[in-house]
Chains A and B, each alone.
Chain A
């Protein structure tokens, strides 16, 4: 049984096939089913009465939720409220999740919907303040290799920065979620659902070009 998310539907036209990671790629969030399978396992253990499994589930999924919610440019404290509300919703509505395999999608969709709602109400209430993300560079050492690594990292950051904001948000959400719910994502981004797939393709193409120009691939 596939992962079902609580709202909306992935339409046939926009459905993304589950992709296996290329050989050598780190088994990270989104790229593989692995964290989602782990989430399912932990949720199932918690439902069976193991309280420690809830801790494990929170440890696994909170970083994913952080990146999904922060894609909506919410300040850290607001993002934290959204993430906490998502966890409380999971705990209180756990009976609504019949299939443990759905828990990863359920959590990220719940967090994204709430992030979008808060984001939209903030935009109405106050002029958009572009949240400046202070670059957090690791401390430099004098070693030449460090400098090179640093420059490479900078080039990757610049390539992502050069993307239009909508691309940045879409790719961040897609990168950290396994199979985002395209219908909801389309509504959040104010796009027709059928255009999410092509837009994602264009955003990835822009990123590829930026990386090539930076000499990163």
Chain B
């Protein structure tokens, strides 16, 4: 056999690594989901923070505050209660409309994950046991002709 060319040798390198350190199952699917989620963010309409009020609840450093975001005719009120490392978010959308709320958390390493909550007829939703850190809420109307909106990322 004639001497292997550079390309032949690199082909050996590729084959060896493809065999001994193969791409994990589902990695592609997970990356597709992450990319699609990020891409949907890009097309979001951003709500504006119009009000922020802090009330110290006192006991053992627990705090609570409210945020109000507006986009067009839609108002989003959030009451955030932080106790230690976890927080609870009570949300209220006015006027009420059928929506899904995605709470997207960004960990310090840049990894994202999301918690989903449905908005009932009352316009209310609850997110519990959220770790403190960066959070963004994305509101997706179940009526797909309506645009999805999102809050800016905020710290809890």
Contacts and interface: CB of A to CB of B under 8 A. Distances in A.
Interface of A: 19, 21-22, 25-26, 28-31, 51, 54-55, 58-59, 62-63, 66-67, 70, 76, 80-81, 83-85, 87-88, 90-92, 94, 133, 135-136, 153, 156-157, 159-160, 171-172, 174-176, 204, 207-208, 211, 217
Contact of B35 (A21, A76, A88): A88
A26 B11 CA distance: 8
When A and B form their complex, which 10 residue pairs have the shortest distance between CB atoms, in order from nearest? A175-B13, A91-B38, A175-B10, A87-B35, A63-B23, A175-B14, A66-B23, A58-B32, A85-B110, A160-B16
Contacts of A76: 24
Interface of B: 1, 3-24, 27-28, 30-32, 34-36, 38-39, 42, 109-112
Given A30-B10, A58-B35, A66-B27, A133 B20 contact: yes
Nearest to B1: A217
B83 to A, nearest CB: 29
A80 B27 contact: yes
Contacts of B21: 67, 70, 133
Given A28-B11, A30-B14, A217 B36 contact: no
B17 A175 contact: yes
Contacts of B112: 84, 88
B14 A156 contact: no
Contacts of A153: 19
Given A19-B6, A62-B27, A217-B1, A88 B34 contact: yes
Nearest to B4: A217
